[in-house]
């Protein structure tokens, strides 16, 4: 089967049906939230930057925040035939790219993004079946909608599948 690839940029979210793959390059403190319905073989990927839209002065862009991107992504996946009760999640990213001696809350943005993602998925009752988060390096991911496999690549730590 001929595979096509949808690229998800920073602050974007996209849903796709098998055999289309979802790709996002360069997750640092951002989190890549991958949702999958294994029966409908529909996947969704959000590349979120910030934990909470209610703290922001500008929040028109739903893909930018954890709390707005997840419901929007589920809605788009439903349109492609996904059933929300079957969704499972894999999450990647949330690194701390810069090390500071006096790290303020803002500097810990990776950790806050991951915490917000865990909480939002729990509220949506979506189980997290795999997670590769934290540390201090960037990751790129490729999410296969035919089997839900996630390929994670980084410059210094090679490739892994989960």
Partner 1 sequence: MLALDDMLKLNNVQLDAIKEVGNIGAGNAATALSKLIKTRVEMSVPDIMILPFSRITATIGGPDAHVTAIFYTIKGQAPGTLLFLIPIIDARKIADVLLNKDISHDQVSFDEMDCSALTELGNIMAGSFLNALNMFTSIHFEPTVPALCIDMVGAILGSVLTNLGMVSDYVLFIKTEFKYQGNHALGNLYFLPEAEALQVILKSLGVNN
Give the E-state strand segments of the chain in sequence order: 5-7, 13-17, 21-27, 31-37, 42-48, 88-93, 128-133, 139-143, 150-154, 158-161
- The token pair at 89 is 């999640």
State which residue, 31 or 70, has the beta carbon closest to partner 1: 31
State which residue, 83 or 100, has the beta carbon closest to partner 1: 100
One of 18, 26, 128, 131 touching partner 1 (CB under 8 A): 26
One of 88, 97, 128, 130 touching partner 1 (CB under 8 A): 97
33-52 positions binding partner 1, by CB under 8 A: 49-50
Q: Is residue 141 close enough to count as binding partner 1 by CB under 8 A?
A: no
Residues 6+ apart with CB under 8 A from 123: none
Q: Is residue 101 close enough to count as binding partner 1 by CB under 8 A?
A: yes
- How many of the chain's residues bind partner 1 (CB under 8 A)? 35
Minimum CB–partner distance for residue 9 and partner 1 (Å): 4
User: Is 114 in contact with 91 (CB distance < 8 Å)?
Assistant: yes
State which residue, 55 or 147, has the beta carbon closest to partner 1: 55
Q: Is residue 2 close enough to count as binding partner 1 by CB under 8 A?
A: no
Give me the catalytic one of 5, 30, 34, 144: 30
Place of tokens 């209610």: 54
Best CA proximity match to 30, nearest among 63, 78, 71 = 63
- The token pair at 125 is 């009752």
CA distance 119 to 103: 23
Q: Which residues bind partner 1 (CB under 8 A)?
A: 9-12, 25-30, 49-50, 55-58, 60-61, 63-64, 95-101, 106, 109-110, 137-140, 155
């Amino acid at each position: 089967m001929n595979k096509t690839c949808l690229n998800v940029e920073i602050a974007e979210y996209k849903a796709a049906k098998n055999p289309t793959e979802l790709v996002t390059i360069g997750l640092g403190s951002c989190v890549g939230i991958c949702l999958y319905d294994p029966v409908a073989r529909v996947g969704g990927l959000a590349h979120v930057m910030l934990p909470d839209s209610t703290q922001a002065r500008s929040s028109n862009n739903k893909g930018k925040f954890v709390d707005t991107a997840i419901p929007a992504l589920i809605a788009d996946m439903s349109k492609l035939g996904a059933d929300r009760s079957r969704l499972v999640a894999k999450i990647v990213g949330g690194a701390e790219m810069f090390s500071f001696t006096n790290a303020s809350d803002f500097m810990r943005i990776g950790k806050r993004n991951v915490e917000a993602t865990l909480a939002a998925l729990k509220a949506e009752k979506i189980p997290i079946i795999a997670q590769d988060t934290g540390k201090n390096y960037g990751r790129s991911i490729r999410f296969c909608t035919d089997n839900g496999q996630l390929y994670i690549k980084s410059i210094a730590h090679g490739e892994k599948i989960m």
